[in-house]
Amino acid sequence: MVLSAVTPPGATDLPWDERRCVHLGPHKHSARLGCRVDGDALAAWSLDVSRRWKRLHNAARNACKREMGRCLPLATRAWEPQARGPGHVHPVFHLYSPADVAIARCYLEHLARLAPRHGFGFVGEKEGKGMQIMAGDRAAAYLSSYFVRGKGSKSTLQENARNPHLPRMLIWVAPNLTGMTGVTMRNLRRCRQLWAVRMGLLPPPSWSGAELGRIVLLAGPWPVRGP
């Protein structure tokens, strides 16, 4: 997999809230010290961040196609907030051949070139580090450790879902992947309903046999209660 990050802009566009850290006295602003972006500037930047990301992604993808003949399809896209307040987005791609590495690098180079035009900062986990290549299970662990449980100062998925400065759709997964795994929001809701039925909280559902079998397989075995 190739995993990268598209970050928000710096303090020129997202100034610090001086009132938040005035008690520290003279200092260099840092999220680690508790400094945060000014609320009005953050709200204004976040208002259309999802639309601006789509325009940026499409522009970089089209530029990559013109240069390389094709672009890799996006496998996953996930948002999370920075400690200072604004969100940043992780684009993730599959790699199937050495040629795919060059195509991914081309896309990310165009992404970095075009990012300022769409109100974003640099591309990569750290400035100058545009992409990381890792095994699929490691990429999944990297993202899920942030979005499900939270990690260190990272927010949990529930906290991010309530964050007004993040897009409503925090995580997008390509349909070809959800088609193979069956893990869709609809099926997860069915799993929750099946759990409630097993707990005696709801009557049995009126699903077809095929749908019931699919949900049972997805939900996994249910522990048998003792006497």
Same domain, yes or no, for 195 and 139? no
Q: What is the dihedral of CA 71, 73, 78, 79, to 10 degrees?
A: 40
Q: What's residue 227's pLDDT?
A: 46
| Helix residue ranges, H only, 71-144 | 98-114, 136-144
Q: What's residue 152's pLDDT?
A: 57
Q: What's residue 224's pLDDT?
A: 53
Which residue did the predictor score with more confidence, 145 or 61? 61
Same domain, yes or no, for 101 and 161? yes
Q: What's residue 126's pLDDT?
A: 55
> Could you give the 3-state DSSP secondary structure of residue 76?
strand
Query: Domain count of the chain?
Result: 2
Q: What's residue 222's pLDDT?
A: 67
Residue position matching structure tokens 């999802």: 50
Query: pTM for this one?
Result: 0.82
Domain end residue (candidates: 174, 195, 218):
174
Same domain, yes or no, for 151 and 203? no
Domain end residue (candidates: 174, 199, 214):
174
Q: What's residue 139's pLDDT?
A: 85
Domain end residue (candidates: 174, 193, 212):
174
Same domain, yes or no, for 61 and 118? yes
Q: What's residue 68's pLDDT?
A: 96
**Domain containing 189: what range?**
182-227
Handedness of CA 132, 135, 136, 138 (dihedral sign): negative
Q: What's residue 15's pLDDT?
A: 97
Q: Which residues contact 5 (CB under 8 A, 6 or more apart)?
A: 88, 89, 90, 123, 124, 125
Same domain, yes or no, for 150 and 120? yes
Write the pLDDT tens digit of every residue in 155-212: 777 888 899 999 999 989 999 888 888 888 889 999 999 999 989 999 999 999 998 8
pLDDT classification of 2: cutoffs 50, 70, 90 = very high
Same domain, yes or no, for 140 and 217? no
Same domain, yes or no, for 128 and 218? no
Same domain, yes or no, for 192 and 157? no
Taking residues 72-78, what's their average pLDDT? 93
Which residue did the predictor score with more confidence, 158 or 30? 30
The neighbouring-strand residues paired with 90 are 78
pLDDT classification of 147: cutoffs 50, 70, 90 = low
| From 68-72, 83-87, 126-130, 136-140, the region with the lowest mean pLDDT | 126-130
Q: Report angle CA 128, 134, 137 to the nearest 5 degrees.
A: 140
Taking residues 99-105, what's their average pLDDT? 95
Q: Which of 31, 34, 25, 26 is nearest to 11 (CA)?
A: 31
Which residue did the predictor score with more confidence, 177 or 118? 118
